[in-house]
Structure 1
Amino acid sequence: MTTTITRRDVLAAGLLSAVPFGIARTADTSWGGYDQAIVIEGLGGPGSLTADSNTAWTPEHLSDVRASGLTCAHMTILPVGTTPTDAAFTAAVRGIAWVEREIDAHPDTFARIRTVADITAAKRAKRTGLIYGFQDGVAFETDLDRLTDLHYFGIRVIQPTYNRRNLLGDGCLEPANAGLSRTGFDAIERMNTLGILVDLSHCGRQTAADAIRTSKKPVAFTHTGCFALANHPRNRTDEELRAVSKTGGVSGLYIMPYLSGGRQPTAADVIRHLEHMINVAGEDHVSIGTDGTISPAVLDQAYKDAFARSVRDRRAAGIGAADENETGYLFAGDLNTPRRFETLSAMLAGRGHSTSRIEKVLGRNLMRVFADTWKS
């Protein structure tokens, strides 16, 4: 038997059990301002865990995108982890080309995003824009001139490092915590000049601190959690959240087991971390990057097997993080819907957050950061 939790299936009981922010007024999963808002997925995209890489998105995937209400999504272009630079660059270019073909094949659903004006246009056209980003610098770590080519191909967000060390710096799982290399510092300067947002989500603490100090443009943690609430190397300390806000940047909350000690997270976990981010960094510096797929997970045996393989493969490659386990699924069961951003909006509204604040968290903050970092 398969279980897909849809928007109507979300249970009201327990949704508002996070640390109180205000008086809970509603457990409704709809929010009146959602369809008019700019809604940006800070990290995620079409597809599903069980779909083969670089195979056409299915009619169900496309339907979920159209139902989601997302204005745009920052999606990852692979690879991540230790990969020879030439092979990584080739794989990245081919990955971009594949997404470009999917956009061309479904112009009623998708739009290319290169500028902030493209985001506004996608909203007007009722399409979902796709923003290309890297979670690792392996495709250009030996040749920073490639950044110019990658920007031309549409890359607008880059993490210098993933969990491990590369030639740019240390990732968050490196015990040495050595920070940016000389090449890493040069890469930050190049990204600033080209108009590429510096994303520090998987970077080591010293790497992140070096980038925050060096960057002349706002930086971001597009998908992270709060270390003060869950001790995990992927989560960020209050000091780091404040430091990013001082650059004018944003910290985006993911929906991951790292919010909850390795168990599958719940909506209450998400709200608890989201409200902590707002309290620490300020409402102008918080966003959402789920680190998941737009389509809901179908928790059947195929999904469980694929997830278990992914955990084992990541562990074997040395890029698995602490608390990764074969049942710590990367979605919240009570947010397992294409319109999870709307459910979160309704929960925030029910807890006393203003319409203005909710709109900022949904997408206005990220849109401002894109405007400050991208070149028109």
Structure 2
Amino acid sequence: MASRREFLIGASALALASWAKGAHALTPPAPPPTWAPYAKTFALDACGTIGRQDHQPDAMLSAAELADLRESGLSALQITVAPVGHYLNAFEETMGQIAFWDAELAAHPEQLLSVRDGADLQRARDENKTGLIYNFQDTTPFGEDLDRVGVFHQLGVRSVQLTYNLRNLVGDGCLEPANAGLSKFGRQLIEALNQKKMVVDLAHSGQRTALEAIAASKSPAVISHTGCAALAALPRNKTDAELRAVAERGGVVGIYLMPFLRTQGQPMAADLIAHLEHAVNVCGEDHVGIGTDGTVSATQLTAEYKAEHRKFIAERRAKGISAPGEADDVYLILPDLNHPRRFETLGAMLSARGHSDARIGKILGGNFKRVMSDVWG
């Protein structure tokens, strides 16, 4: 079965012949809009990965994939180094993924930088590199052993998502109907994460798990990638109460580029902007960011892509981790932001709607940079 990283690389983007919605299929692609302040913006994707459609599992990054990353203008990218949605050999798989990305960092020091603290984030921007932040999207690699928090911290993990969609030893994910909240072990894990100055991430969590974790954490918690339930009442999206609680404790909410931005049909950039503006209204402009939950590169909508997408959704349904809003014919990106410079395009769109350059800079990465730096030191 394909891992999350393999699927995102091979099948999570939809290339259209034009950036404009509804353009004729034979129209040459128009260049995406530019936003002049982007050259000086710290852009951070709180949930993503690197790779093109033809990337082979375990292959090193190609020159073209690294060129896409350079074109993106991202100063930092939070990548998932732990398996999600299945628990067999989670520790071993995580160690393998960390070794893979460590090798990429060693192979490309001119472009990639390991992020261990706030100074590394700034250094990535100053040196025109992309800092990689190691993140878990499930706590299963810890098993029942809290000593592994220190092990993974030493290996560079700086952000830990407490649950995926289902229940684990820490608490309930967003698809659990019982909504049981944090376990005793979950509270102990949060304490251990706080001691090691690791960010507590509440994406995919159930409502009680999120609210109890926000209260339990001594440092600000984040939601790296989600949407607003007030606009699309789907389990993967967060209620205003959850969004507000994160902001009140100093955290940041990242909005994703995923199908869950609408209840039906393929979402577009306009849906993303609606969720961003709602989150700003609820949380304030200092507490909203972006976590795309996708790849930097764009890919082609081929027959192979469609088949892999259907297979991926079927496997998730069989395992009980497919969230409402996932569909065979709804792809995991926004078609009119399907190019590496999507952050700059989004900046231009927000500017056209009257948002200030300062606010846009915060949303595109400044807010996540601040809170991560505050937690890590």
**Same-fold call, TM cutoff 0.5:** yes
> Residue 62 of structure 2 aligns with which residue?
58
User: In structure 1, what residue type is equivalent to 2:115?
Assistant: I
CA distance in 2, matches of 1:262, 1:123: 38
Alpha-carbon displacement from aligned partner over 1:213-271 (angstroms, at most 9, x marks no partner): 11110001110000000010110111111100011000000011101114221011011
* Shift in alpha-carbon separation, 1:246–1:209, aligned structure 2, 3 A: same
> Residue 5 of structure 2 aligns with which residue?
none
In the TM superposition, residue 5 of structure 1 has moved relative to its aligned partner by 4.4
Residue of structure 1 aligned with 2:232, choices 207, 226, 230: 230
CA distance in 1, matches of 2:232, 2:332: 16
> Residue 45 of structure 1 aligns with which residue?
49
> Residue 280 of structure 1 aligns with which residue?
282
> Residue 33 of structure 1 aligns with which residue?
37
> Residue 20 of structure 2 aligns with which residue?
11
User: In structure 1, what residue type is equivalent to 2:60?
Assistant: A
Q: How does 1:62-73 map to 2 (within 5 A)?
A: 62-73=66-77
Shift >3 Å, 4+ stretches: 2-6, 48-53
Are the equivalent residues in 2 in contact too, given 1:223–1:291 (CA < 8 A)?
A: yes
Alpha-carbon displacement from aligned partner over 1:310-331 (angstroms, at most 9, x marks no partner): 1111112221111211111011
In the TM superposition, residue 50 of structure 1 has moved relative to its aligned partner by 5.5
* Shift in alpha-carbon separation, 1:3–1:42, aligned structure 2, 3 A: closer
CA distance in 1, matches of 2:366, 2:155: 25
Are the equivalent residues in 2 in contact too, given 1:82–1:166 (CA < 8 A)?
A: no
CA distance in 1, matches of 2:14, 2:197: 43
Task: Check if 1:74 corresponds to 2:85.
Answer: no
Tell me the secondary structure at the aligned position of residue 33 of structure 1: helix
Residue of structure 2 aligned with 1:328, choices 320, 327, 330: 330
Q: How does 1:96-107 map to 2 (within 5 A)?
A: 96-107=98-109
Tell me the secondary structure at the aligned position of residue 231 of structure 2: coil
CA distance in 1, matches of 2:304, 2:110: 30
Alpha-carbon displacement from aligned partner over 1:246-304 (angstroms, at most 9, x marks no partner): 11000000011101114221011011111111111100000000100000122112221
Residue of structure 2 aligned with 1:134, choices 128, 133, 136: 136
> Residue 202 of structure 2 aligns with which residue?
200
Q: How does 1:1-376 map to 2 (within 5 A)?
A: 4-5=15-16, 9-11=18-20, 29-48=33-52, 51-84=55-88, 87-374=89-376, 376=377
Runs (5+) with no aligned partner, structure 1: 15-26
> Residue 27 of structure 2 aligns with which residue?
none
CA distance in 1, matches of 2:149, 2:346: 36
Are the equivalent residues in 1 in contact too, given 2:229–2:239 (CA < 8 A)?
A: yes
Tell me the secondary structure at the aligned position of residue 140 of structure 2: coil
Tell me the secondary structure at the aligned position of residue 139 of structure 1: helix
User: In structure 2, what residue type is equivalent to 1:91?
Assistant: E
**Count of residues in correspondence between the two structures:** 358
Range with bigger deviation, 299-308 or 142-151: 299-308
* Shift in alpha-carbon separation, 1:177–1:3, aligned structure 2, 3 A: closer
In the TM superposition, residue 12 of structure 1 has moved relative to its aligned partner by 8.0
In the TM superposition, residue 345 of structure 1 has moved relative to its aligned partner by 0.3
Range with bigger deviation, 102-111 or 142-151: 102-111
CA distance in 1, matches of 2:303, 2:213: 42
CA distance in 2, matches of 1:353, 1:360: 11
In the TM superposition, residue 359 of structure 1 has moved relative to its aligned partner by 0.7
CA distance in 1, matches of 2:218, 2:14: 47
Tell me the secondary structure at the aligned position of residue 219 of structure 1: coil
CA distance in 2, matches of 1:316, 1:53: 23
Are the equivalent residues in 1 in contact too, given 2:14–2:298 (CA < 8 A)?
A: no
Are the equivalent residues in 1 in contact too, given 2:257–2:333 (CA < 8 A)?
A: yes
* Shift in alpha-carbon separation, 1:203–1:108, aligned structure 2, 3 A: same
* Shift in alpha-carbon separation, 1:5–1:120, aligned structure 2, 3 A: farther
Are the equivalent residues in 1 in contact too, given 2:46–2:77 (CA < 8 A)?
A: yes
CA distance in 2, matches of 1:172, 1:140: 20
Q: How many percent identity over aligned positions?
A: 46
